[in-house]
Each structure stands twice: as structure tokens, then as C-alpha cells.
């Protein structure tokens, strides 16, 4: 039996239908029969379209509406959330900012998503989700009747899986950058699993040399090239106390003796700017080569001994993987690893742990066999 177009009103009799008005609000239409309801909806639709046409000259552009929406949507967000939302909104205003919101059609949403820099699925999903919220805001305020983002999918491809560094690769990396500014940066993240922005915000007063621990208290993110220091970390779980391994502790003591800045990874004027951080990481890239390249860079005479790709976030992933891989021997449980990693969602930690265990197929097979070899309880 086909689904009824309208809802039967069992109290008053007849039919009812929720109709969206020109101002974005709903009103309930009532009629005794289906044909009468059809005629009533046609009449109300004409009235709505006429009202919207009158409003059209004063309708907002996408840029104006997005700016107004951002003031509301950003209220109460952390600095991380506010910057992420503003970044997605920036892509939208760049592509559609001069257009009136009422003129946006589904094909424009396709163009917005397909023309985003890169083809990352997660990046496209964030921009599309932001556009959905803007369109909903426009509908609630009567600027549009239909959501052009309805049934739209982000597409794109999943980000490449982050490959942790092996112990040998960690040694090669640290040996290659020893004596440069990049050494402390790499060692710090490899031994503590700090996010790059947490490492940039680390100050000397967060280090307890006597107990070999550090407190994650601040973060530094960028507004253009300008660093912004904030105590609003990415999540509540990011605020944590971490043990400092011996080699990192020695490196920090040596750095403290010569440091004149409050920040461990210091820039010229406090924390590193975006350019200063990129220049520091460039010391790693300059020592990295492809198999078909010569060992020595003829322009700088630098030995390029790193033969594998390395990114800052890869160092954090290496730390977490190391914790998971040796959890059985050390007795570290998943909740402790989650705390040390600063994960708000335990599923993130479990996914890394499961991946590590899956690579040990032989160990897993032996453990399963051992269970079935045990006598029945």
C-alpha cells in the first residue's frame, strides 16, 4: 500500500501537512480531503514564492551570511574548533562568496567540493558539513527554501595510512639531524608523542627535571605566520602528565643550559612562527633522499642519509605504536596508553593497537592455540 502524502488527523478529521513558509518557519495546513489539500498547498506555494521574490533584492550573499553564521556557530568553541570552522568557511567564501545564497544550486555544491585543494575525503567532508550548516541557517531565516547540499556526498579518497618508524629508522633520523635545531623537535615528539602544536607550546616551567615528567599545558597554532598561544588544548584529554625517557631528559638539560627563552622549541620572538617551524623541519627534508638520488647534496654538502619519508605527525604515531607494540611486556593497558596519547576517544587508541596486533599474525596464532590447549575449567 503506497505511503499517504498527508497525515490523517484522527482528532479533528481530515488531513494535515507541515508547510514551510517564506520566513523558514512551519505552519500546519488542514483540509478535509486529499484534493483540497493539494489545492491548498499549490496556493500556499505561490504565496511563498511571491514573498521570496519580494525579498530577493535584499537577500544576502554567501559571504555575508557565512560571516553572520560564524559569529553564532563559533560561540563557546575552543580555539581549535574556532580555527577549524573558520578554515572551512574560508574555502566556501573563496568559491561562492560573491553569489547570493538564494542562487546556489546543487551543481554549485559539486563544484565547491571538487575544486577544493587536494582530494582528501576528510577535508571535503568538513567543508561540506560546514556548507550544510550554513544552508540550514539560511533556510531557518527564510533566505532559501531548499537545501542545495541535500543528498550531496563529499567523495575524495581516504588519507594515506600513517606508517610508524621502525627502531632503525628512528636512529637514522636522529643521527641525521643531530647538532641541528630539528634534533630536539624530533626527539621530543618521538619520546613523548606530543602533537606538533603541543610541542611548540611547551615551556620550561612545564618540565619537572627531578621527577622526569612534563605537563602538557599549552598549544601553539598559527594565524597565517603568527603563532597563537592558548591554554585551550585540542581536547580535555590532551591535558596530561608524561614521563620523560632518559635520552630526552639529557637533551633537555643540555638545551636548558643555553636557552634564553621560555619556550623549549624557541623562535626569535617566543614560540616558533609558522615559517620558523617549516625552516626547522626543512632540516629533515634536506637530509632525505630518494633511492635514485646521490648521497650528498652538492649544493649544501649535506649527507642525505634518510631514505624514507618522514612527517611531524608520523613521529607521534610512532610513539603510540611503540606503546601498543610493547604493552604485553611492559604491562601498559589500553586506558593508560590512551591517557599518554591524549586521545579523547578510546576507539582511536584501540584502532592503533588492533593494527599492531594484526601485524603479529604468528604471535596471535600461538596465543589462540595456547587457549585451546588449556584444560577445561
Residue 267 to residue 285: CA distance in whole angstroms: 19
Mean confidence (pLDDT) of the chain = 85
Alpha carbon 184 to chain centroid distance?
Answer: 25
Q: What's the pLDDT at 361? A: 59
Distance between CA atoms of residues 194 and 311, nearest Å: 14
Rounded to an integer, the average pLDDT of 207-229 is 89
Nearest to 265 by CA among 255, 250, 254: 255
Q: At what angle do helices 312-325 and 334-341 cross, to 10 degrees?
A: 160
62-140 and 167-312: same fold? no
Q: Does domain 62-140 have CATH number 1.20.120.1150?
A: no
- The ranges assigned to domains in the chain are 7-58, 62-140, 167-312
pLDDT for res 26: 81
H helices present in the chain, as ranges = 34-55, 62-73, 79-96, 106-114, 121-140, 167-177, 181-192, 196-200, 246-258, 274-285, 312-325, 327-330, 334-341, 346-358, 361-373
Name the superfamily (CATH) of residues 167-312: Intergrase catalytic core (1.10.443.10)
Instruction: Tell me the C-alpha distance between 130 and 152, whole Å.
Output: 13
**Nearby residues of 372 by Cβ (< 8 Å), 6 or more positions away:** none
For the cut 90, the answer to whether the pLDDT of residue 374 exceeds it is: no
Neighbours of 159 (CB within 10 A): 12
What cell was used for 314?
A: 608520523
pLDDT digits (tens, 9 = 90+) for 130-164: 999 999 999 888 888 888 998 888 877 766 677 88
- Of 350, 334, 319, the C-alpha closest to 198 is 319
- The predicted-structure confidence for 18-39, as pLDDT tens digits, reads as follows 888 776 678 889 998 888 989 9
**pLDDT given for residue 362 in this prediction:** 56
Facing residues of 271 across strands?
266
> What is the model's pLDDT at position 178?
93
With 90 as the cut, is the pLDDT of residue 212 above it? yes
Q: What pLDDT band is residue 298 in, cutting at 50, 70 and 90?
A: low
Note the pLDDT of residue 11. Answer: 80
Residue whose C-alpha cell is 607521534: 316
Looking at the predicted structure, is the pLDDT value of residue 213 above 70? yes
Mean pLDDT of 55-81: 81
Let me know the angle formed at the C-alpha of 24 by 19 and 26, rounded to the nearest 5 degrees: 30
Q: In this prediction, what percent of the chain has a pLDDT beyond 90?
A: 40
- The residue-averaged pLDDT of 317-333 equals 86
Q: Which of 65-79, 113-127, 285-299 has the lowest mean pLDDT?
A: 285-299
Q: Which helix (H) or strand (E) holds 18?
A: strand 15-20
pLDDT value for 3: 45
Q: Which grid cell is 339?
A: 591517557
The yes-or-no verdict on residue 118 having pLDDT over 80 is: no
Q: How far apart are CA 66 and CA 101, in angstroms?
A: 10
Neighbours of 287 (CB within 10 A): 22
Amino acid at each position: 500500500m503506497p505511503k499517504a502524502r498527508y497525515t490523517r488527523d484522527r482528532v479533528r478529521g481530515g488531513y494535515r501537512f507541515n508547510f514551510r513558509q517564506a520566513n523558514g518557519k512551519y505552519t500546519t495546513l488542514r483540509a478535509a480531503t486529499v484534493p483540497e489539500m493539494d489545492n491548498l498547498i499549490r496556493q500556499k506555494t505561490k504565496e511563498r514564492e511571491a514573498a521570496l521574490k519580494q525579498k530577493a533584492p535584499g537577500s544576502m550573499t554567501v559571504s555575508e551570511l557565512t560571516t553572520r553564521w560564524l559569529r553564532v556557530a563559533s560561540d563557546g568553541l575552543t580555539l581549535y574548533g574556532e580555527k577549524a570552522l573558520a578554515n572551512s568557511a574560508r574555502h566556501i567564501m573563496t568559491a561562492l562568496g560573491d553569489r547570493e545564497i538564494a542562487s546556489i544550486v546543487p551543481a554549485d555544491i559539486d563544484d565547491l567540493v571538487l575544486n577544493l585543494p587536494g582530494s582528501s575525503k576528510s577535508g571535503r567532508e568538513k567543508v561540506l558539513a560546514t556548507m550544510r550548516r550554513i544552508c540550514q541557517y539560511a533556510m531557518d531565516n527564510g533566505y532559501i527554501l531548499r537545501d542545495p547540499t541535500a543528498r550531496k556526498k563529499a567523495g575524495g579518497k581516504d588519507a594515506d595510512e600513517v606508517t610508524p618508524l621502525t627502531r632503525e629508522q628512528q636512529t637514522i633520523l636522529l643521527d641525521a639531524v643531530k647538532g641541528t635545531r630539528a634534533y630536539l623537535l624530533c626527539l621530543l615528539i618521538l619520546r613523548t608523542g606530543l602533537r606538533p602544536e603541543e610541542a611548540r607550546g611547551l615551556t620550561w616551567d612545564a618540565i619537572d627535571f627531578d621527577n622526569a615528567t612534563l605537563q602538557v599545558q599549552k598549544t601553539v597554532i598559527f594565524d597565517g605566520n603568527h603563532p597563537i598561544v592558548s591554554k585551550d588544548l585540542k581536547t580535555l584529554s590532551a591535558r596530561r602528565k608524561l614521563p620523560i625517557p632518559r635520552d630526552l631528559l639529557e637533551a633537555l638539560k643540555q638545551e636548558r643550559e643555553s636557552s634564553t627563552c621560555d619556550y623549549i622549541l624557541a623562535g626569535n620572538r617566543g614560540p616558533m612562527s609558522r615559517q620558523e617551524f617549516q625552516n626547522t623541519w626543512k632540516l629533515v627534508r634536506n637530509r632525505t633522499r630518494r633511492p635514485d638520488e646521490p648521497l650528498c647534496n652538492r649544493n649544501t654538502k649535506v649527507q642525505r642519509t634518510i631514505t624514507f619519508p618522514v612527517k611531524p605527525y608520523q613521529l607521534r604515531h610512532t610513539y603510540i605504536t611503540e606503546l601498543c607494540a610493547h604493552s604485553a611486556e611492559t604491562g601498559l593497558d589500553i586506558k593508560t596508553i590512551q591517557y599518554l596519547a591524549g586521545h579523547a576517544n578510546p576507539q582511536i587508541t584501540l584502532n592503533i593497537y588492533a593494527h599492531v596486533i594484526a601485524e603479529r599474525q604468528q604471535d596471535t596464532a600461538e596465543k589462540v592455540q595456547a587457549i585451546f590447549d588449556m584444560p577445561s575449567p
